[in-house]
């Protein structure tokens, strides 16, 4: 009797294992707070209580909702503000530097601009790793990057990575949001969002904003330290976008390998890899 040939299971290559090890070192590295503290020479957690967290949360949520509008409408349009990572850095430093001169008061104006610049950069990185920006899942994954790399822990399980615990915290919300618009066009999604008719999308954005706000508050505290100056402030802005570009690179490398080998396989391998945390 004829027996169909069983499809052979793909085996991850040594090159891909080394790539995964490299991005794990990025994703599990110290948070932006520690990197900024290393730069300015003092811990910045001491000043976090001075930040108006409620106001910051509202500003952050508003900025990410504007980024969600962009993610739905135009991330796949390559003629729409596509530039190199280096130029993205320059634009983010410029916008952040102007906003930094006026503190939290200017943040409501500056943050939507800088998040849009960073989102375009994140989208370029996603595409460079073979992800299709026409897919809603990829677009939401671009927004998901803003939740990565904060000092907030979402898991008490020491065996679980900070990266996967963060993803796991909003995984169900992401799936429900995508499923809720499975038969809708991008235009219909935008119209529904404008009317506040997609609560799962709002929930996803607010979950991301709660973590993004932590990193943002760390940046604000670092900028407010006396003697940092304009040059130091510009350097912090450069570190800020560089932080999320690196998070995006690691995130989309992992997701590319998950598509090829399966989420569970890559998750287990990632957790099993031993890499040293290094300060940058």
- 192 within some domain: no
- 188 within some domain: no
- 86 within some domain: yes
Q: Which domain holds residue 148?
A: 21-170+207-272
Q: What is the pTM (predicted TM-score) of this model?
A: 0.83
Please state the three-class secondary structure of the chain as a single string.
CCCCCCCCCCCCCHHHHHHHHHHHHHHCCCCHHHHHHHHHCCCCHHHHHHCCHHHHHHHHHHHHHHHHHHHHHCCCCCCCCCCCHHHHHHHHHHHHHHHHCCCHHHHHHHHHHHHHHHHHHHHHHHHHCCCCCCCHHHHHHHHHHHHCCCCCCCCCCCCCCHHHHHHHHHHHHHHHHHHHCCCCCHHHHHHHHHCCCCHHHHHHHHHHHHHHHHHHHHHHHHHHCCCCHHHHHHHHHHHHHHHHHHHHHHHHHHHHHHHHHCHHHHHHHHHHCCCCCCCC
- 37 within some domain: yes
The CA distance from 97 to 120, in Å, is: 19
The parts of the chain modelled with pLDDT lower than 50 are 79-83, 99, 101-102, 153-157, 278-280
Residue bearing tokens 């991005």: 23
pLDDT in tens, 153-179: 444 445 568 899 999 999 999 999 999
User: How many structural domains is the chain composed of?
Assistant: 1
Residue 105 class from Cβ within 10 Å (0-12 exposed, 13-18 middle, 19+ buried)? exposed
- 16 within some domain: no
The answer to whether 132 and 243 are in contact (CB under 8 A) is no
Residue bearing tokens 């952040």: 96
* pLDDT given for residue 217 in this prediction: 81
Q: How many residues does the chain have?
A: 280
* pLDDT given for residue 156 in this prediction: 45
Kindly list the distances between the CA atom of residue 198 and the CA atoms of 23, 209, 214, in Å, as whole numbers in the listed order: 34, 17, 25
- 231 within some domain: yes
- 4 within some domain: no
* pLDDT given for residue 155 in this prediction: 46
* pLDDT given for residue 251 in this prediction: 97
- 189 within some domain: no
């Amino acid at each position: 009797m004829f027996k169909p040939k069983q499809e052979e299971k793909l085996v991850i290559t040594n090159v891909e294992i080394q790539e995964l090890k490299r991005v794990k070192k990025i994703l599990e590295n110290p948070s932006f707070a520690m990197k900024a503290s290393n730069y300015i020479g003092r811990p910045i957690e001491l000043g976090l209580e001075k930040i108006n967290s409620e106001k910051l949360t509202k500003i952050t949520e508003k900025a990410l909702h504007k980024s969600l509008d962009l993610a739905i409408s135009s991330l796949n349009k390559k003629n729409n503000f596509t530039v190199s990572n280096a130029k993205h850095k320059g634009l983010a430093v410029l916008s952040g530097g102007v906003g930094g001169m006026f503190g939290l008061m200017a943040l409501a104006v500056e943050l939507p601009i800088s998040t849009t610049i960073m989102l375009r950069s994140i989208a370029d990185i996603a595409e460079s790793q073979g992800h299709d920006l026409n897919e809603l899942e990829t677009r939401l994954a671009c927004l998901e990057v803003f939740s990565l790399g904060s000092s907030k822990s979402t898991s008490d399980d020491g065996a679980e990575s900070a990266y996967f615990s963060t993803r796991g915290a909003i995984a169900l919300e992401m799936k429900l949001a995508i499923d809720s618009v499975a038969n809708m066009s991008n235009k219909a999604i935008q119209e529904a969002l404008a009317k506040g008719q997609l609560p799962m999308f709002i929930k996803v954005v607010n979950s991301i904003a709660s973590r993004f706000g932590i990193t943002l508050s760390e940046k604000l505290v670092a900028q407010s330290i006396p003697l940092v100056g304009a040059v130091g402030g510009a350097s912090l802005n450069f570190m800020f976008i560089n932080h999320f570009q690196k998070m995006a690179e690691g995130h989309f490398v992992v997701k590319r390998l998950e598509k090829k080998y399966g989420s569970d396989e890559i998750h287990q391998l990632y957790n099993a890899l031993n890499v040293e945390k290094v300060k940058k």
